[in-house]
Every structure is written in C-alpha cells, then in structure tokens.
Structure 1
C-alpha cells in the first residue's frame, strides 16, 4: 500500500485472488506487468532452501511453491514473481534476494547457472502455460525476507514519514500509526472479502486508493484542528480557569496540531520523544495529586503543569531550539483527549 502511495506505476492491487497479492504495474510501454506475490508466514525455524521451494504436498504435481508461482504465467500481462518470508535463504538462493536487473543475479552468472541446474534437476520440464521455464522464473523472481514484525513496523513508519515529508507534510508518530492502522484494516477487509459477490472489494486501483487516502488525511487534519467538541474548554472551566488563559490554551493546542502536520524542522523521533516526556510528566503529577502528596486546586495545578513544560524545554540541548510552545500544546492536547484533568474530579 505504501508503494502504491509513493509509486504511480503501481496501478492496481488484487488481494488474495490469484495469489496472496497481485501487484499490477504500468511501467510505460504495454503490456502491463503482473507481479504475483506469495507470502509465507508459517515457517520452520530454518533457512529457506531449493528443496523447500520444490517440495510437493503429498507428491502432487503442481503443488510446490515453485510450480504454483510459475503457473501464474498464463495471463495477458507479463508475469513476474515475489516470495515474501520471515526467514532468510540459504546461499544458493541468495541471488534471488537482489533486485531484478542487478548484475549479481544475471542469468548467466555462476551462481544463477548453478541454481538453474539445481532447479531443473528437481523440477524437470516444468513450464508455464506461456511456455516459460525455470530460466524465466529465476530471472523474474524476487525473494523478499522480512525478518520480523518489529522490523517491518519500523520500516513502514519510516517509509510513510519519508513519503509524507516528500509531499511537504510531516506527521508525528501517533498520526503515522493511525494511518498505518487504517491501511492494515483496508488490507484485512479486502483479504476477507469473497470473490463472489464482493469482487470489487478485492481489487483496489491507485485512483480509488488515493481518494481514500486523501479522505483519511482530511479526517486526521480535522480531528487535530478542531477543539474536539470543546473538551479542553470544559476541563479548564471545571478547574476554574477562564478568560484569556483558556483562550490561549485552545490556541496553543491548535498551533500544536498544525505543527505536527506541517513542520519541516522536527524528525519523528524527536517529536515522539518530546510527546513521551510530556505524557510522563503529566502522569507523574496526576499520580501525586491522586495520592494526596500534591494538594493543589485547579488553577495552581494548571500553573504547575505549565511550569513543568518550561522545565522540560529548559533541559533540552541548546541546538534543539525552543520547544516550549510545542510541549504546552501537547499537554493541552492530552487534556483534550481526556487523559489529563486540571480539576479534582475523578481523582
């Protein structure tokens, strides 16, 4: 999905139709290229080998990973292939992990010649319906080892941050996670849909996806920019805070919301770190107040929270710049989301 967002050549995705995924590429001149993707999640705790690639279920012809993959070469689009695994591969399969077109995986290099001979020996005379055999499959197959879920999530976060940065809109980590969650929901919904009667739900064009994406961004922008039904105002009023103090708090929260969408001067790690410090500080203060070790009324507790934001700002390295407004805006955003109260209600 992130590739489709970033790359206009990826024009369509099929979810669990002919394969786990089918990526349709428009690389310029016709015909289109269909990339058939097999995702292997349940794997043995070992390296993938040529034998694994050729293993047939109950000796049934056509049941191996290799045969199933090559068999997809039967449509009008030019076929290429991708295998996604958590485990890496043995050295014999390493050339397939290089990008297509890399000279280190040229079909006539020693490693690929040896791999083709091994594959031919295990799968003799296997060809696709279009007459292509092992050489074609090796030349057009990409092996994509993803290692673990944490690494994938980290990669996706950074990829989305870079995409949005290139588009002129930086996002904080919490907003990136919201958008990634929406993408995961979209993928799951498409995968769970049945070909009949919901064929349309299983195929997503780039045009339709960008429309959905723009709607998600607009909703995120609206949620951040509005005072969320006046919750912040209500909480401050309940704490006997009125007038310009409340108005300034609302304004600082709106500035914070704008900065997390448009700032070009703050990396996601820095923003996430600052948010974490604000959350930790207000949690400490709220806990002390709930325990009775901090006996302050609403205005005094609010003033203490503001002072602590200034203290955090003063502790930052000089080259980080003045983040006081960001920290206070973040604090007010936390209050607006019902995670911080300035009055004593609910303690």
Structure 2
C-alpha cells in the first residue's frame, strides 16, 4: 500500500496592511496579482503515485517519496523467528484415523468371508467325490490307480492334491505318465499312459522288461508278459558304466525286429533271441529250427532284406539252414549259408 503524500500547505497569505501602513509598491502588487492561486491536491486512486500540481512557470517541487507498506502476515506463516506457531488442527489426524479404521473393518470382514467360504467348500457334502473316471489302463484296474493316487469316494474334492496324486500314480513302473483333474462338484478324472513291454533283457541272472525305446523299466514279475524276444549279452557292469549306451543298443535291436516283421520273417520264423556280442555285433536266432542270422554291425535294414530273400529261396528248395552270415561289411551283397 502506497502512503499518500499530503498536499503542500498553501502559502501563507499576508493580511492586507491597514490604512495607516505604507502601501506596497506597484511592482509587488502587480506580482501578487499575477500569481495564481494554489491548486488543491486531489486524492489519487489506490496504487498510484500522487503528484503535486505545480503552478506553471514555477520550478517543480521535489518528487514525493513512495513508501511501501506491507500488510501484517497472518500468524503461523513466516512470522518472526521467535513467534510461536499454532498447533496443527486435530481434524487431519481424525480423518486419517477414520480411514485406518475403515480399512481395518474391510480387512476383517474380507477375512471372515474368505474363512467362511473355505469352511463351506471343504465341509459341504456337495463337494464330496462321487465319481472317479480312469482312462488308458490295461495292466492296472481303475481301483488300483485311484487307490495309488489317494483318491477316495466321499473325500472332499478340494482336499485332493492333484500334482501329488499324479506323481503317486506315475510311481507305478507300468505307468509312464498320469494326469489327475477334477470337475466340480464331485468328479475326478485320471488319464493314464502305460508303458508297453517290447522285449525281455537278461542281465546277469535276472530278466527286465524293456520298452520300444530301449528303456529298462522293471524287473520281470509273475504276472508280467513273457512271450517277448529276449535280449542277451548285456552285463551288469555295462549297465552301471553306460546305461545310456545299453538303452541305444536295445533300441537298435528292436529296430531290427520291426524290419523283420515288415519283411515277413517274423511271421514265418518267430524271433527267439537277440544276442549282442562283445564287439557289438548282433546275432538273431529265429524259428523253431533256431536259425542264426549274423547281422554284424548296424544298420540292419538291408541285411534283413537279404535274409528274407535267402530264407524264401531255401523254403522253395525245401532246404534247412543253421547259420546265415550277413555280416560282410566289405561286400554286403555276399551271403554265406551254412546248411544243416
């Protein structure tokens, strides 16, 4: 706020001299007559500087000094350093307390609802297991599969651990993979992939079942199949030292078995034994006559084709052979037959 300067006081007018006084000179009287009357100061609007009006033909008055006057600051906002600030209003703390209490109420209510819902679903008869569906089993019954997975009729369906049940079922050597799912409200579905035995593998004095991939998955039991080709020549040291190599060797032998089935040899001369020599060469014994086919080193497909042609020719001649040598790698077209 700008302080308005006060208007300069009008010049003191002298009283006219009395009649007894000496009359002023004509020059002084003329000067006073020509001098205009002082103009009264008009109040200036706010925030504007007031200028004193000077009569014409006179030297201007010195500029008025502008003084800035600031309004007093409200307490608590940048007052003097020693000035005490009022305490913060309690309404802000009260609102924060209200928000915290509301959040706590919502959390408690949500927890109570979740607890009640869980208690309902784990205890309601609506979610008790009533149906167990098992697909893909041949070696095991549906009851055996369900029992091994801990699946029981009447048990709450939500208390069943699906991953644990699947792993427990797959622990059976005959089961390669098991998947357990549930369908609400009361059905459990078990899908099983069983292993198929393609050969018996003799290791030491024991027999083991092998899959088509050459995997030895279980020892032969009383109720296991025995009408399978027998692989011999594998030792326990070989399995312990190079199990992966043993699996590959058994798989190659089963490849040869498939080639013989495709060529028609297995139908006329059932395969009895597949023997692996120490150098890795293979000898296959076929038919009731026990004909030995020396296939040598893999691959075997072309050698099996030659063996099929030789056996057909021998059958036409009504001749019987004991050994057929197909292991000449330098001249694979040469076949040597040893007759009985």
TM bin (shorter chain): under 0.3
Q: Compare the two structures and name the one with the higher strand fraction.
A: 2
Q: Which has the larger radius of gyration?
A: 2
Compute the TM-score of the two structures, normalised by the length of structure 1: 0.19
- The structure, 1 or 2, with the larger RCO (C-alpha pairs under 8 Å, 6+ apart) is 1
Compute the TM-score of the two structures, normalised by the length of structure 2: 0.20
